[in-house]
Amino acid sequence: MSKQSKYFLAGVMGWPVMHSRSPRIHNYWLELHGIEGHYAPIAVKPDGLEKALRALHPLGFTGVNLTIPLKEAALDVVDRVDPVARQIGAINCIVVHEDGLLEGFNYDAYGFIASLREADSHWKANAGPVVVLGAGGAARAVLAGLIQDGAREIRLVNRTKERATSLALEFGETINVYDWSQRAELLAGAAMLVNTTSMGMLGQPPLDIALDKLERNCLVADIVYVPLETDLLARARRTGNRTVDGLGMLLHQARPAFRHFFGVMPEVTPDVRRLIVSTL
């Protein structure tokens, strides 16, 4: 007989959802920790989101992750929203409480900062100016993480400047907005460069930015993880800069979600990283 009194169920909802790596990550950790349970991909259309979320409690699910295109819409469905998720404007993790209450979190900011700390345990957001490229959903999570971690100066640039300006209004005075044409010169004196745009992703053109002003000690991060080494990261590596790929953010955001769903805080080890790299 099993020593566990309950079979744990959780999953990821999205539309489409089969591309998600989350089932591989969570099911690997379930097996590693000897927990009886399963983490499933759940295909849910946006117009079925509310019904699907309300079904979680009667079905006995402990929670779900959310992916595109459900992350923003979930804000209007759940009963309670964590302040970080509210600031990012999207939910990527829902916890089902014992009484059925649904609480929304967003661990993308946490995952981003944790992936930087994994690359450099002493890394701090206040080490110097940070250049952030992009002003979409991913940028919101990166900015929330940087600000929470104490960033003092963020240089934000986006092809469509108005989107960056409205993010700066929302996120506060740490953020200074520049023109897209200034992106290369903004690297002078920067302690970190982060790409949050879709440039460099498989099927997209590479990010077009000159790196001649990049300081040797500038950490270069890309939230893209397919390919694992984008053209930006390859060029930064060749100039001797430290780089952080986007897979770390994906792996690290899964840790607190796993703890909510299954009661154990798992670790991002070379083994789980290798497992996911093998699927890219």
Where along the sequence are the contacts to ligand ATR (CB under 6 A)?
134-139, 158-160, 163, 196-199
* 80-83 CB contacts, 8 Å cutoff, 24+ apart: 80/104, 82/106
Q: Do 239 and 211 touch, CB atoms closer than 8 A?
A: yes
Closest CB 223 distance from ligand ATR, rounded Å = 8
Alpha-carbon gap, residue 175 to 129, rounded angstroms: 10
- Rank residues 196 and 253 by Cβ distance to ligand ATR and give the closer one: 196
Give the nearer residue to ligand ATR in terms of CB position, either 95 or 167: 167
Name the percent of the chain in helix, strand, coil, to the closest 5.
Answer: 40, 20, 40
Q: Which residues lie closer than 8 Å to 225 by C-beta, 6 or more apart?
A: 245, 246, 247, 249, 250, 280
Smallest distance from ligand ATR to CB 148, Å: 19
Q: Which is nearer to ligand ATR, 42 or 143 (CB)?
A: 143
- Closer to ligand ATR at the Cβ: 28 or 178? 178
Q: How far apart are CA 144 and CA 196, in angstroms?
A: 13
Q: Closest separation between CB of residue 269 and ligand ATR, Å?
A: 27
**Which residue in 3, 6, 45, 71 is the catalytic one?**
71
Maximum separation of any 2 CA atoms in the chain, in Å: 65
Nearest residue to ligand ATR, scored by beta-carbon proximity:
136
Helices within the chain (DSSP H only): 22-32, 49-59, 83-88, 108-119, 137-148, 161-171, 231-238, 247-262, 270-277
d(CA 56, CA 93): 13
Taking the complex as a whole, the smallest distance from the CB of residue 177 to ligand ATR amounts, in Å, to: 12
Which residues, 6+ apart, have CB-to-CB distance to 77 below 8 Å? 49, 50, 53, 102
Distance of closest approach, residue 79 Cβ to ligand ATR, in angstroms: 25
Nearer to ligand ATR, 81 or 88 (CB): 88
Q: Is 71 a catalytic residue?
A: yes
| Complete DSSP assignment for 102-123 | EEEE--HHHHHHHHHHHH-TT-
Catalytic residues: 71
